[in-house]
């Protein structure tokens, strides 16, 4: 972190609508608060598996609440998440592994595209209700985010490389080490220790802990 600035890490997965909400709000606050925001693309499925967590929508009452909750938050934060009951099924049948590896490859080679690229993945899945798991979907997202054909192809080839696979595993393991059990997981480093905040509705608390 730069002099006197608090490092805030955002562990996220584009399959998670709450991650999108947290991402957009932190993107706005990075210009207001004295923070260095670091995006950490990780794998939600890996975190759920390692911690024995279950998708919240598996509990019918919770699924009902989530539909309302995400709609309210989307309206409040002005983020175009469009959620329907069918989306719970879509999340379970769509893996985000390819997308998160692609995002990781871009993070490793051209991190300046990390923010617009991640946003376009959420836009495609949560706003346009299109698939993000096939290579052609990934390339369409990359094009939308302003990546050149050449750069996208290179990143797509990197998806199957051990370096990218390992980096995604390491980032996911790091989130687990901080105590994450779902996404988004926000970690603020202040007073020499990490403070974990789960979800996109703890940002006032985050501000309070870092003195904002």
| Residue ranges for the chain with pLDDT beneath 70 | 1-3
Q: How far apart are the first and last CA of the chain?
A: 16
Sole residue written with tokens 């904002």: 212
Residue pair 138/117 in contact by the 8 Å Cβ criterion: no
Instruction: Give CA–CA dist 14/21, Å, rounded.
Output: 11
Say what the pLDDT of residue 86 is: 87
Sole residue written with tokens 């990546």: 147
- With respect to residue 139, please indicate whether it lies within any of the assigned structural domains: yes
User: Residue 34 sits in a domain of what CATH number?
Assistant: 3.40.30.10
- With respect to residue 1, please indicate whether it lies within any of the assigned structural domains: no
Sole residue written with tokens 């919770």: 62
- With respect to residue 60, please indicate whether it lies within any of the assigned structural domains: yes
Around Cβ 156, how many Cβ atoms within 10 Å? 17
According to DSSP, residue 196 is labeled: E
Whether this model's pTM surpasses 0.85: yes
Instruction: Give CA–CA dist 156/144, Å, rounded.
Output: 15
List the catalytic residues.
16
Number of domains in the chain: 1
- With respect to residue 116, please indicate whether it lies within any of the assigned structural domains: yes
According to DSSP, residue 5 is labeled: P
- 30: containing domain: 6-210
Say what the pLDDT of residue 3 is: 63
pLDDT tens for residues 132-165?
999 999 999 999 999 999 999 999 999 999 999 9
Structure-token pair, residue 3: 């002099």
Beta pairing partners, 38 = 9
pLDDT tens for residues 46-62?
999 999 988 878 888 98
């Amino acid at each position: 972190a730069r002099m006197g600035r608090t490092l805030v890490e955002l562990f996220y997965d584009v399959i998670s609508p709450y991650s999108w909400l947290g991402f957009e709000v932190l993107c706005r606050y990075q210009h207001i608060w004295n923070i260095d925001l670091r995006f950490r693309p990780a794998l939600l499925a890996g975190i759920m598996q390692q911690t024995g967590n279950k998708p919240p929508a598996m509990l019918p009452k919770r699924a009902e609440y989530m539909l309302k909750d995400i709609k309210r938050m989307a309206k409040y934060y002005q983020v175009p998440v469009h959620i329907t009951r069918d989306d719970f099924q879509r999340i379970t049948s769509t893996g985000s592994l390819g997308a998160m590896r692609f995002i990781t490859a871009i993070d490793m080679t051209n991190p300046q595209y990390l923010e617009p690229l991640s946003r376009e993945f959420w836009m495609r899945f949560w706003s346009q209700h299109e698939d993000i798991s096939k290579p052609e979907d990934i390339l369409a997202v990359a094009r939308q985010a302003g990546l050149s054909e050449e750069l996208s192809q290179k990143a797509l080839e990197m998806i199957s490389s051990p370096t990218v696979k390992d980096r995604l595993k390491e980032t996911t393991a790091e989130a687990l080490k901080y105590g994450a059990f779902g996404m988004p997981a926000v970690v603020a480093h202040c007073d020499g220790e990490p403070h974990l905040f789960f979800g996109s509705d703890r940002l006032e608390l985050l501000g309070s802990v870092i003195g904002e």
